[in-house]
């Protein structure tokens, strides 16, 4: 199993903290936005006598309300199209396990959310990368690049939209071109849409579920982790119109009995969160993004573009080894007792050698911390020697 590139530096961060250094975490996507109070209150105020097992596919009332939520967002989803999972993580694992046998292949544009490798590896499935580039803002690689790596073992194309780690928002045209490709080669189009609410600059998110004609090929993965800042609830879902796939996912789900009961109570209540909550969150993220990107772009030899969604960006730095640099920041550098933790981008690429001069930054901290963090990074780059 590959090691998490985001978590592997934690021992160095812990040591720095033990030595009295304050570490500003730019490395992890834990939002600091408050969880909706109605969700927390629903757990606090409930009157359960027994915290019992629930249904394998998730509570009916939660799935029913979730289907209504999707309908309001122009996605024609029925209750029976949804299986509630223990986070998007379990949803992705179950999806991979359901559509691919050992030694089958799933094509993923890189850089990609590092755990995709873990989910695939756990089921003996191979991730086949097609490379997207910082020079083109990480737009979708050409269809020829995908076709070059399609083999009889290819079972799916997996994308994350909006993207972690690049912040890229795939356009309607890009989704449509992938839809054509999966139909042509009879593949699944597996789309991780956990950041669907976080879309900026007046752009619109185009879901794989909106694409007509690929209902038997489309799988959408969702989560409450980022939407309601409920990462600890561990609730996500798989959505698909493909009944055979639902049947297979259900068998995997039966082995883990059910998703967490309390958390589903919170999630059902969270669905009543007013739109103003999202408007405020998006406004806050845009302000943070603008500060971060403006400050980063002022640093010599740094390349970064303004992401259109999610809350991450890939930053190219004048360094040769981002793993060594990230570790050095924690072990050897501070300004007035403060340093920063970044995620080396190498772990987001499957192709050996890529991402060595890139790091991923998450802008989930307040504006003051972000400004300070970029200042520390700037000073660090002045003295760092590869």
Could you say whether residue 194 binds ligand PLP (CB under 6 A)? yes
Could you say whether residue 231 binds ligand PLP (CB under 6 A)? yes
Could you say whether residue 31 binds ligand PLP (CB under 6 A)? no
In the stretch 198-227, what mask flags binding to ligand PLP with x, by CB under 6 A? -------------------------x-x--
At its nearest, how many Å lie between ligand PLP and the CB of residue 235?
7
| Closer CB to ligand PLP, 88 or 330, in the complex | 88
Q: Of these, 97, 160, 190, 313, which contacts ligand PLP (CB under 6 A)? A: 160
Dihedral of alpha carbons 362, 22, 3, 88, sign: negative
Number of residues near ligand PLP (by CB under 6 A):
13
- The three-state DSSP-derived secondary structure of 207-235 is CHHHCCCCCCCEEEEEECCCCCCCHHHCC
At its nearest, how many Å lie between ligand PLP and the CB of residue 256?
14
| Closer CB to ligand PLP, 125 or 376, in the complex | 125
At its nearest, how many Å lie between ligand PLP and the CB of residue 213?
26
Could you say whether residue 161 binds ligand PLP (CB under 6 A)? no
| Closer CB to ligand PLP, 232 or 274, in the complex | 232
At its nearest, how many Å lie between ligand PLP and the CB of residue 340?
19
Question: Rounded distance, CA 369 to CA 276, Å?
Answer: 25
Q: Of these, 57, 105, 192, 284, which contacts ligand PLP (CB under 6 A)? A: 192
Angle at the Cα of 67 from the Cα atoms of 63 and 73, rounded to 5 degrees? 145
At its nearest, how many Å lie between ligand PLP and the CB of residue 118?
11
At its nearest, how many Å lie between ligand PLP and the CB of residue 365?
16
Pairing verdict, β 312-316 and 338-341: unpaired
Question: Rounded distance, CA 112 to CA 344, Å?
Answer: 13
In the stretch 105-124, what mask flags binding to ligand PLP with x, by CB under 6 A? --------x-----------
103-123 core/surface letters (b: 16 or more CB in 10 A; e: else) = ebbbbbbbbbbbbbbbbbeeb
Could you say whether residue 167 binds ligand PLP (CB under 6 A)? no
At its nearest, how many Å lie between ligand PLP and the CB of residue 164?
4
At its nearest, how many Å lie between ligand PLP and the CB of residue 113?
4
| Closer CB to ligand PLP, 221 or 315, in the complex | 221
Could you say whether residue 236 binds ligand PLP (CB under 6 A)? yes
Could you say whether residue 59 binds ligand PLP (CB under 6 A)? no
Alpha carbon 12 to its chain centroid, in Å, reads 24
Q: Of these, 35, 161, 164, 166, which contacts ligand PLP (CB under 6 A)? A: 164
Binders of ligand PLP among residues 71 to 100 (CB under 6 A) are 87-89
Query: Residues in the site for ligand PLP, rule: CB under 6 A?
Result: 29, 87-89, 113, 160, 164, 192, 194, 223, 225, 231, 236
């Amino acid at each position: 199993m590959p090691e998490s590139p985001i978590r592997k530096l934690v021992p160095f961060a812990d040591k720095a903290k033990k030595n009295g250094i304050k570490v500003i975490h730019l490395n992890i996507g834990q939002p600091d936005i408050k969880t909706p109070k109605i969700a927390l209150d629903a757990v606090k105020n409930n009157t359960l006598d027994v915290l019992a097992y629930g249904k394998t596919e998730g509570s009916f009332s939660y799935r029913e309300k979730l289907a209504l939520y999707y309908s309001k967002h122009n996605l024609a989803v029925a209750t029976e199209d949804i299986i509630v999972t223990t986070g998007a993580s379990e949803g992705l694992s179950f999806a991979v396990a359901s559509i691919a046998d050992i030694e089958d292949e799933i094509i993923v544009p890189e850089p990609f959310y590092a755990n995709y490798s873990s989910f695939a590896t756990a089921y003996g499935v191979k991730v086949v990368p097609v490379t997207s580039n910082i020079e083109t803002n990480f737009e979708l690689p050409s269809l020829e690049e995908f076709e070059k790596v399609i083999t009889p073992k290819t079972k799916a194309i997996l994308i994350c939209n909006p993207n972690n780690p690049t912040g890229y928002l795939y356009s309607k045209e890009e989704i449509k071109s992938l839809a054509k490709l999966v139909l042509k080669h009879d593949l699944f189009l597996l789309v991780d849409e956990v950041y669907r609410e976080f879309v900026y600059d007046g752009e619109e998110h185009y879901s794989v579920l909106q694409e007509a004609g690929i209902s038997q090929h489309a799988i959408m993965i969702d989560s409450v982790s980022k939407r309601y800042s409920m990462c600890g609830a561990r609730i996500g879902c798989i959505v698909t119109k493909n009944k055979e796939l639902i049947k297979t996912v259900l068998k995997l789900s039966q082995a883990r009995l059910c998703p967490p009961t309390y958390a589903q109570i919170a999630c059902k209540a969270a669905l009543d969160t007013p739109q103003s909550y999202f408007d405020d969150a998006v406004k806050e993220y845009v302000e943070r993004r603008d500060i971060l990107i403006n400050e980063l772009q002022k640093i010599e030899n740094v390349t970064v573009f303004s992401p259109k969604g999610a809350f991450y960006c890939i930053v190219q730095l004048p360094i040769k080894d981002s793993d060594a640099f990230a570790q050095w920041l924690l072990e050897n550098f501070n300004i007035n007792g403060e340093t920063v933790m970044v995620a080396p981008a190498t772990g987001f690429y499957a192709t050996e050698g890529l991402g060595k001069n890139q790091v991923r930054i998450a802008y989930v901290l307040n504006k003051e911390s972000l400004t300070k963090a970029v200042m520390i990074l700037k000073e660090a780059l002045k003295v760092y020697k590869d």
